[in-house]
């Protein structure tokens, strides 16, 4: 054997033992690992947030990521991810985004959490989650900044939203979602604004169901579907998702994450000409009249509802829609 190929067998054994101990610490195993096949198989069996490729190459995802195939491992504790798009149908692995501390948005309209708890538990910077069905314990709990949770299919379980202290918009896209909250889910909204003593919030439901409720305050109906577990339901506003969003803005099973912004301007201009805005985000623009004209009429609607009184400041010409949960239309005329 050439001298440059010689190794210190004692040191090599020590190093391999250190690596094996690190693998066992992650896998929970205790048996002896034969090198290399035992190392490889033990690593491949780990579902705690790292893959064989990631282990060997010391790489992990960062920034915005898109997942188009069924993932085999979780992404738990990856602090570099800021936005995740999951565009495939699958039942989530336990703890999929758990402790992803810089994750802000998850768009997973086809994902069913099922019994795989802790889907994006403890994501301290999360603001918006779009998910197929979160019906598992603590699936989306302990997200201290989340404001919007958009549920596509339904299925709400106990402790789903526990300690989501800033949650103020819950969107239920299908009729089944409102029926899915069973009596066992009394802790689903524990320590959220929806519980008694909280600041309240808005639950958006399909237009057809809202029409059934009438003005959205039919307590008997809510009690019949176990929504009485919201012991603070007196502070909850029930609002409808317009038919245009519920029925028409789906493509191949994927709901669009953006609302359209239409501006009909006569003898005036807008500082923000964006044609769309992300669901649940704000939209701001300043209207200015052309030379020789003055703004005479401004109307702002969201999903056909006139919100001019709260969205338009006539003193400054600024239009500000705080939460875009439907298509926005701005009509302004200067004379």
- The pLDDT value given to residue 251: 37
Per-residue pLDDT for 5 more than 80?
no
Mean pLDDT of the chain: 77
Q: Tens digit of pLDDT for each residue in 113-166?
A: 887 889 999 999 999 898 888 888 889 999 999 998 888 777 777 788 889 999
Is 0.85 topped by the overall pTM? no
Least confidently predicted of 181-195, 209-223, 241-255: 241-255
Using CA atoms of 286, 287, 289, 291 in order, give the dihedral in degrees to the nearest 10.
Answer: 30
Comparing CA positions, the residue from 124, 179, 123 lying closest to residue 151 is 179
Per-residue pLDDT for 2 more than 90?
no
Alpha-carbon distance of 241 to 201, in angstroms, equals 15
Q: Tens digit of pLDDT for each residue in 60-79?
A: 788 888 888 888 888 888 99
The full set of domain ranges for the chain reads 60-251, 257-334
Own/partner pairs for 133-138, CB < 8 Å, 24+ apart? 134/160, 135/160, 135/180, 136/92, 136/160, 138/162
- The pLDDT value given to residue 124: 93
- The pLDDT value given to residue 221: 43
- The pLDDT value given to residue 212: 57
């Amino acid at each position: 054997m050439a001298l440059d190929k010689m190794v210190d067998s004692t040191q090599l054994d020590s190093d391999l033992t250190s690596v094996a101990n690190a693998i066992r610490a992650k896998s929970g195993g205790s048996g002896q690992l034969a090198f290399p096949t035992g190392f490889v198989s033990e690593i491949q069996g780990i579902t705690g947030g790292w893959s064989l490729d990631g282990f060997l190459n010391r790489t992990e995802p960062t920034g915005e990521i898109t997942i188009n195939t069924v993932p085999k491992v979780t992404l738990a504790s990856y602090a570099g991810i800021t936005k995740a798009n999951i565009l495939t149908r699958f039942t989530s692995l336990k703890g999929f985004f758990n402790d992803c501390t810089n994750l802000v948005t998850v768009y997973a309209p086809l994902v069913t959490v099922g019994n795989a708890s802790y889907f994006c538990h403890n994501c301290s910077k999360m603001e918006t989650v779009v998910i197929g069905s979160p019906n598992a314990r603590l699936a989306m709990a302990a997200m201290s900044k989340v404001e919007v949770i958009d549920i596509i299919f339904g299925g709400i379980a106990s402790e789903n939203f526990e300690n989501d202290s800033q949650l103020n918009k819950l969107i239920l896209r299908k009729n089944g979602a409102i029926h899915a909250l069973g009596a066992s889910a009394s802790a689903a909204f524990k320590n959220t604004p929806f519980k008694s003593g909280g600041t309240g919030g808005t639950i958006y439901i399909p237009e057809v169901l809202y029409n059934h409720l009438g003005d959205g305050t039919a307590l008997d109906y809510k009690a019949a579907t176990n929504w009485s577990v919201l012991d603070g339901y007196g502070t909850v506003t029930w609002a409808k998702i317009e038919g245009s969003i519920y029925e028409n803005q789906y493509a191949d099973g994927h709901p669009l994450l953006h609302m359209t912004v239409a501006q009909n301007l006569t003898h005036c201009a807008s500082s923000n000409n964006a044609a769309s805005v992300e669901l649940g985000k704000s939209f701001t623009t300043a209207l200015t009249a052309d030379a020789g004209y003055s703004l005479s009429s401004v109307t702002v609607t969201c999903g056909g509802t006139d919100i001019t009184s709260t969205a338009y400041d006539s003193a400054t010409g600024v239009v500000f829609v705080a939460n875009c949960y439907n298509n926005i239309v701005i009509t302004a005329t200067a004379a």
